[in-house]
């Protein structure tokens, strides 16, 4: 099958390569001329035979919106546009409605697999009209992992990215659990082989998973993770998952806590914890850590000017 691929970064480039290895005719466009097959989107569309299929793999938000808008002016009745990035499912519905007026189909695909997808395949969560999905099935079959699983036509437009959003929310919670478990093991001298413990869990346990494999790999490369800084960004899908939980009145305590933990990782000195420390000092005379160069202040600190605690149990 012939397909256009817009965005040839880590994911898009590897997906294009996997499709080529499977015998598909891929015409790729990227802003980097070193990896692009064409000079612009207009040339990309000209190179494709109707009915065309164009897969967009660019960052979500404004870059995707701008790309979809530009392609809408170039594609024709019967063509299909695929958004395989991490777009919000509500954007999918807007794009689908806008393109439908021109007879252009729209399919949203949540893609998971990361840098390992080239060799192992990509898990695909698809949303769209069954006719458009069927048109793209040769591509989906080549991209997915071998075997029965790894692909789902999750529902109408938006369902693919909604499923991927929830997938990533679950991923947040799982990663946070592994992280907290690692920190607890490292905090004591009871377990002397932390890396070996994680490695042992890869077989025969109920928590064995690809994420656990990656934990073991990371600890093998850097046993105490000393080469890393405890800072974790979020891609946006964790936030969207929490918001969707609020919108649908579904409690998501684990996913929400994992998202907030990432926010906390970006604070070298938490403003909120400053207030907590100040309040504990005020009502209970509990010791607080002062700014570097100043002395610790607390109930037993020399010169501490603290009123008697109102509630000694606080």
- Using a 10 angstrom Cβ sphere, with 0-12 exposed, 13-18 middle and 19 or more buried, the burial of residue 312 is exposed
The model's pLDDT over 143-176, given as tens digits with 9 standing for 90+, comes to 999 999 999 999 999 999 999 999 999 999 999 9
Residue 300 predicted with pLDDT over 50: no
Q: What is the pLDDT of residue 289?
A: 73
Query: Which residues does residue 83 pair with via DSSP β-bridges, in sequence order?
Result: 56, 108
Residue 297, pLDDT > 60, answer no
254-265 in b/e form (b: 16+ CB < 10 A) is ebbebbebbeee
- pTM of the full structure: 0.84
Q: How confident is the model at residue 275 (pLDDT cuts 50, 70, 90)?
A: confident
Q: Give me the active site residues, please.
A: 164, 171
pLDDT above 50 (res 111): yes
Walk me through the domains of the chain, giving residue ranges and CATH numbers: 2-157 (3.40.50.720), 164-265 (1.10.1040.10), 272-314 (no CATH)
Q: pLDDT tens, 179-234? A: 999 999 999 999 999 999 999 999 999 999 999 999 999 999 988 888 878 878 87
- Sheet-wide strand order for 151-155: 25-29, 2-6, 53-56, 80-83, 105-112, 123-127, 151-155
Q: What is the mean pLDDT of residues 128-146?
A: 98
pLDDT of residue 298: 43
């Amino acid at each position: 099958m012939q397909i256009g691929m817009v965005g040839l970064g880590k994911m898009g480039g590897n997906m294009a390569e996997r499709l080529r290895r499977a015998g598909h005719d891929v015409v790729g466009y990227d802003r980097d001329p070193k990896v692009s097959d064409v000079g612009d989107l207009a040339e990309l569309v000209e190179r494709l035979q109707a009915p065309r299929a164009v897969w967009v793999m660019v960052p979500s938000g404004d870059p995707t919106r701008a790309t979809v808008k530009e392609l809408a002016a170039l594609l024709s009745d019967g063509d299909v546009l695929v958004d395989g990035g991490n777009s919000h499912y509500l954007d999918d519905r807007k794009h689908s409605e806008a393109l439908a007026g021109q007879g252009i189909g729209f399919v949203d695909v949540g893609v998971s697999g990361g840098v390992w997808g080239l060799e192992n395949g990509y898990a695909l969560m698809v949303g769209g009209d069954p006719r458009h999905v069927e048109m793209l099935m040769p591509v989906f079959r080549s991209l997915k992992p071998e075997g029965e699983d790894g692909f789902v036509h999750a529902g109408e437009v938006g369902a693919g990215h909604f499923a991927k959003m929830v997938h990533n929310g679950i991923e947040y919670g799982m990663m946070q659990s592994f992280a907290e478990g690692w920190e607890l093991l490292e905090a004591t001298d009871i377990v002397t082989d932390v890396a070996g413990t994680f490695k042992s869990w890869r077989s025969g346990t109920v928590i064995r998973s690809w994420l656990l494999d990656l934990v073991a790999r990371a600890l093998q490369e850097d046993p105490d993770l000393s080469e890393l800084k405890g800072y974790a960004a979020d891609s946006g899908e964790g936030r969207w998952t929490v918001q969707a939980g609020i919108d649908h009145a579904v409690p998501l305590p684990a996913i929400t806590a994992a998202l907030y933990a990432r926010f906390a990782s970006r604070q070298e000195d938490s403003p909120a914890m400053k207030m907590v420390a100040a309040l504990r000092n005020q009502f209970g005379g509990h010791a607080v850590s002062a700014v570097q160069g100043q002395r610790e202040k607390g109930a037993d600190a020399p010169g501490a000017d603290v009123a008697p605690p109102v509630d000694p149990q606080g």
